[in-house]
Amino acid sequence: MNPKELKYSKDHEWVKTEGNDSALIGITEFATDSLGDVVFIELPDIGTKITQFEKIGEIESVKAVSDIFTPISGKIIEQNNELINNPELINNSPFEDGWMFKVENINTDELDNLMNSDEYDQLIKE
């Protein structure tokens, strides 16, 4: 169920690289299932520089709040504006339409600190 082409963090975020410089980031289906109906996300402004595994924002469901930790360093260049009015996209399509933000100036070496889909499958089984 977790797409093969993505990399995963233990905080249940995924990274999809686009070329060598930029990447899309979202949260996994496992995370959305445990959160419940997502109602709000709070992300840093465009242009903010973020560092791998630091807390950068929050995601809220009706009765829970979780921190968002970025799985990769870089500069935020885009946020998924669709989520402002339709946060349910995160529940309905966590790996596609529910992506959260895009970063550039990534360091692909950092991908080695993340899991592949098999390893992540294993993690959430435990």
Partner 1 sequence: MNTHEDLGYISPYIPNTDLDRKNMLNKIGVSSIDELFKDIPDKYRNPNLNLTKPLSEFELKKYIDEICSMNIVPGDYSCFLGGGSYQHHIPAIVNQLSTRSEYMTSYTPYQPEVSQGTLQTEYEFQSLCCLLTNMEVANAGMYDGSTSLAEAALMSARINKKSKIAILNTVSPTYIEILKTYTQYQGLSIYMIEENQTKLEDDTTCLIVQNPNFYGNIDDMNKFADIAHKHEALLVAYTDAMSLGMFIPPGDYDADIAVAEGQTLGVPTSFGGPYVGIFTCKKKYIRQMPGRIVGATEDTKGNTAYVLTLQTREQHIRRENATSNICTSVALIALMSTIYMASLGKSGIKHIAELCYQKAHYASNLINKIPGYSLLSDKVFFREFGIICPRPPKEINKILLEKKIIGGLDISDKVENGMLISITELNSKEEIDLLVSALSEIK
Partner 2 sequence: MNTKINDINRKLLMDRSSPGRVGATLPPSDVPKQKLPPDKYLRENINLPELSESELVRYFSKLSQFNFSIDHNFYPLGSCTMKYNPKINDEIASIKGLSNLHPLQDESTVQGALKLMFELQNSLCEITGMDDISLAPMAGADGELAGMLMTKAYHLANEEPQRKKILIPDSAHGTNPASAAMAGFEVITLPSDHNGNADIEALKSSVDETLAGLMITLPSTLGLFDTNILDVCRIVHNAGGIVYGDGANLNSLLGRVKLGELGFDIIHSNLHKTFTQPHGGGGPGAGPVIIKDFLSDYLPSPVVRLNQKDNSYSLYSPKNTVGKMGAFHGNFGALVRAYSYIKTLGEPGINQISQNAVINANYIRSQLKDYYDLPFNRTCMHEVVFSAKNYKQEYGISALDIAKRLIDYGIHPPTMYFPLIVDEALLIEPTETESKDTLDYFIEVMKVISKEAKDNPELLRNAPHNTTNSRVDEAKAARNPNLRWSPINNT
Interface contacts to partner 2, rule CB under 8 A: 37, 39-40, 60-63, 85, 87-88
**Which of 19, 20, 47, 63 touches partner 1 (CB under 8 A)?**
63
Residue 62: CB minimum distance to partner 1, A: 7
Q: CB neighbours of 9 closer than 8 A, spacing ≥ 6?
A: 15, 53, 69, 71, 114, 115
* Per CB under 8 A, 84 contacts partner 1: no
Residue 7: CB minimum distance to partner 1, A: 29
By CB under 8 A, the residues from 90 to 109 that bind partner 1 are none
Residue 60: CB minimum distance to partner 1, A: 5
Q: Which does 71 bind (CB under 5 to 8 A by kind): partner 1, partner 2, none?
A: none
Q: How far apart are CA 71 and CA 12, in angstroms?
A: 9
Q: CB neighbours of 32 closer than 8 A, spacing ≥ 6?
A: 38, 90, 91, 94, 98
Q: Residue 15 or 38: which CB sits closer to partner 1?
A: 38
SS3 at position 125: helix
Q: Are 20 and 76 in contact (CB under 8 A)?
A: no
**Which of 65, 96, 107, 119 touches partner 1 (CB under 8 A)?**
65
Q: Which does 4 bind (CB under 5 to 8 A by kind): partner 1, partner 2, none?
A: none
